Amino acid sequence: MSAGSRIIIAVIALVCAAGFFLTALEPNGLADSYTFYGFAVFCLVIAISSLSPKSHPITLRMIGTIIFCGYLTHAGGSLTHGHLGRALVGLLVCGLPAGYLAIQGKYLRWGVLKR
């Protein structure tokens, strides 16, 4: 990935982190402000990952863990909402590769472009 695209991703992630943080400070009737703090931290991890390639083994594992746990939680919560099929498809398509990323610290072999 080029340096310019990494900088653009980092800037967008930092703007999103600031937005989530400001939303958490003034939730205005939203149920839980801790969720917005979590999203702000997640965006900060993405920004750190895109700016510092040496931190990739750690930050990629953090990102993979967050995504896998999110899909797993969604699949567990969908048992009572009646959309278990869609939740399981999401877990299989996005959650399991993110779990692999969390464990191995690298992308699946088919997810990396061959040059």
Put residue 52 in one of left, alpha, beta given phi > 0 → left and psi -120 to 50 → alpha: beta
- Nearest Cα neighbor of 69 from 96, 109, 107 is 96
pLDDT tens, position by position, 18-63: 999 988 888 676 667 788 888 899 899 889 888 888 887 888 888 8
Q: What is the average pLDDT across 108-114?
A: 61
CA distance 36 to 19: 9
Question: Residue 32 in 3-state DSSP?
Answer: coil
Q: Among all chains, which residue has been given the structure tokens 């953090």?
A: 62
